Chains A and B, each alone.
Chain A
Amino acid sequence: DAKTTQPPSMDCAEGRAANLPCNHSTISGNEYVYWYRQIHSQGPQYIIHGLKNNETNEMASLIITEDRKSSTLILPHATLRDTAVYYCIVFSNSGYALNFGKGTSLLVTP
C-alpha cells in the first residue's frame, strides 16, 4: 500500500501562507492524493484532492509534483481557525483510504 510521510508539526504566522508537504513516493498511477484536517478528534474535514494536476478550491491549493511522489497543501492566508492536524492520504482508485498516518499538527500563531 502507498505510504505517506509528513512532518509531525509546523508553525505558521497568521495571514501568511502555510505550506504543508507530504511524501508519497510509492503511490500508484491511479491512486489519488487527498488532504483532510481534524480538530479535537472530530471527523476529518475534507480539504482538497487530486490525481496528477494541481488543484485549487476556496480552501486551499494542492501542488503535486510531476512524478507524483510528493505534494504540498497550501493554505494561502492562514487564520487561527486553521490550527488542526492535517492528513495527507492516498486513496485507492476504488475510493477507500489506503494510508492514514499521524499527520502534521499545524499551529497558526497571532
Chain B
Amino acid sequence: KAGVTQTPRYLIKTRGQQVTLSCSPISGHRSVSWYQQTPGQGLQFLFEYFSETQRNKGNFPGRFSGRQFSNSRSEMNVSTLELGDSALYLCASSLVVGAENEQFFGPGTRLTVL
C-alpha cells in the first residue's frame, strides 16, 4: 500500500509570494494533519482535518490556511511568504481521528523562501 505522498518535494519562493502544498493520505485514511518542522522550533502543529472539516488548529498566523477535499486529499496554503516560513512541511494521515490510530508521516515538502 502506498504511503503518504506530498508534492512538491522541494520548492523555492521569494518573500511576498504564496505557495500551495499538497498531501495525499494513505488510501482509506480520512484524517490528515499538517506540521512545520524547523531546526530551531522542532515540529509544530498547524492543522488537523477530518471529513473536509478542520477539527483543530495550531498557533500560526492567518497566512497559513488549509483544506481537505472529499477524497481526503489535503492542501495547505501560505500567503505573503516570509523568510521564517522556510521549513520542512510534513503531513500525517491516519484512518480516522484519535491517537489510538497509527499516524503516518509523509516525506515532506521542503520550502525555501529567499
Contacts and interface: CB of A to CB of B under 8 A. Distances in A.
Interface in A52-103: 87, 89, 91-98, 100-102
A31 B42 CA distance: 20
B113 interface: no
A46 B56 contact: no
Interface stretch (B14-22, B76-84, B100-108): B100-108
A46 B4 CA distance: 12
Chain A: interface secondary structure? loop
Q: What is the size category of the interface that chain A forms with chain B?
A: 20 to 34
Interface in B16-43: 31, 33, 35, 37, 42-43
B103 A95 contact: yes
B99 interface: yes
Contacts of B94: 95
B101 A95 contact: yes
B55 interface: yes
A98 B42 CA distance: 12
B33 A95 contact: yes
Nearest to A32: B99
B100 A32 contact: yes
Nearest to A103: B42
B49 to A, nearest CB: 10
A89 B102 CA distance: 13
Given A41-B88, A43-B4, A98-B45, A93 B108 contact: no
A14 to B, nearest CB: 27
Contact of A100 (B35, B97, B106): B35
A100 B105 CA distance: 13
Interface of B: 4, 6, 31, 33, 35, 37, 42-45, 48, 55-56, 88, 90, 92, 94, 97-108, 110
8 contacts: A41-B108, A43-B106, A49-B99, A49-B103, A94-B97, A95-B48, A96-B48, A100-B35
